[in-house]
Amino acid sequence: MSRGNQRQVDRQRAQKRAEKAAGGKKKKTSANRTQTLNNKKEQDAEIMRRKQQKAEQKKADAAAATAAGCAASSPAVTTS
């Protein structure tokens, strides 16, 4: 019982330390998270663009091969 207000003072000091530690980390990680998130979105968008280009190229190649195959496989009609 002779401690007086020491417990309360210790609690306040501990709370200030916790706020300082959490506050400093939050600000840094929040900015880093935002930057990281933006970078991730840009990278994902670039990957999707590449995939779309590959798919379009594949379709074009398939269409060209089909057109060439149809022209080569159909017999020429000759009339006498």
User: What pLDDT sits at residue 36?
Assistant: 87
User: What pLDDT sits at residue 35?
Assistant: 82
> Is 46 inside any structural domain?
yes
> Is 66 inside any structural domain?
yes
> Is 80 inside any structural domain?
no
User: What pLDDT sits at residue 72?
Assistant: 58
pLDDT in tens, 20-57: 887 765 555 677 778 888 999 999 999 999 999 999 99
> Is 76 inside any structural domain?
no
> Is 79 inside any structural domain?
no
**Domain total in the chain:** 1
Residue numbers of the domain that contains 17: 3-70
> Is 77 inside any structural domain?
no
Report d(CA 56, CA 17) in Å as an integer.
58
